[in-house]
């Protein structure tokens, strides 16, 4: 309930903007709080990052499943549903790039660090910048 109130307060602070127009710079102050350990002051950042990461993970996992099932060689060599699940589950970590137990604080830290290193990106949509931050940090380091 408290997180919902934080999100509503965050979104209300940008009355002329829809969620599609939230820029990286709009989230940066709250994400800095989260990166610094202030999980209450950065409530809107937590909600936005949690939603983004969940969507990112689910999209990657769906992509793996669909790609696996569309590959005729995979289907020919798979021995039952448990074999298919085992093989698909092995691919998830590489597709998502996240360590097994990534925290919102870690993602907030990556986002803020990326913005500090790339200040010209602050005026861009947060989703694009966050995606690039994830790709440049977690994926580039071969996570998991």
Give the per-residue pLDDT at 9.
53
115: three-class secondary structure by DSSP:
helix
CA angle 50, 106, 118 (to 5 degrees): 95
Cα–Cα dist 31/46, whole Å: 8
pLDDT at 31 over 60: yes
Query: Which residues lie closer than 8 Å to 97 by C-beta, 6 or more apart?
Result: 134, 135, 138, 139, 143
Q: What pLDDT shows up at residue 140?
A: 79
Q: List, for residues 64-98, the tens digit of each pLDDT value.
A: 888 888 888 877 888 877 888 888 888 887 888 88
Computed over every residue of the chain, the mean pLDDT equals: 83
pLDDT in tens, 94-135: 888 888 788 999 999 999 999 999 999 999 999 999 999 999
- Output the six-digit token pair for 2: 């408290």
Give the predicted TM-score (pTM) of the model.
0.76
At residue 63, the pLDDT reads 87
Residue-range domain boundaries for the chain = 2-57+97-139
Q: Indicate the burial class of 13 (C-beta count within 10 angstroms; 0-12, 13-18, 19 or more).
A: exposed
Alpha carbon distance 60, 115 (integer Å): 24
Say if residue 137's pLDDT is above 80. yes
């Amino acid at each position: 309930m408290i997180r919902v109130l934080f999100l509503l307060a965050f979104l209300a602070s940008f009355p002329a903007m829809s969620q599609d127009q939230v820029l990286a710079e709009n989230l940066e102050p709250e994400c800095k709080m989260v990166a610094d350990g202030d999980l209450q002051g950065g409530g809107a950042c937590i909600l936005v990052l949690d939603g983004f990461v969940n969507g990112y993970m689910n999209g990657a996992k769906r992509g793996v499943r669909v790609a696996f099932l569309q590959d005729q060689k995979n289907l020919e060599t798979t021995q039952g549903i448990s074999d298919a699940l085992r093989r698909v589950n092995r691919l998830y970590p590489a597709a998502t790039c996240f360590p097994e137990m990534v925290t919102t604080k870690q993602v907030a830290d990556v986002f803020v660090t990326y913005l500090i290193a790339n200040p010209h990106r602050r005026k861009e949509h947060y989703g694009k910048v966050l995606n690039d931050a994830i790709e440049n940090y977690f994926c580039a380091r071969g996570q998991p």
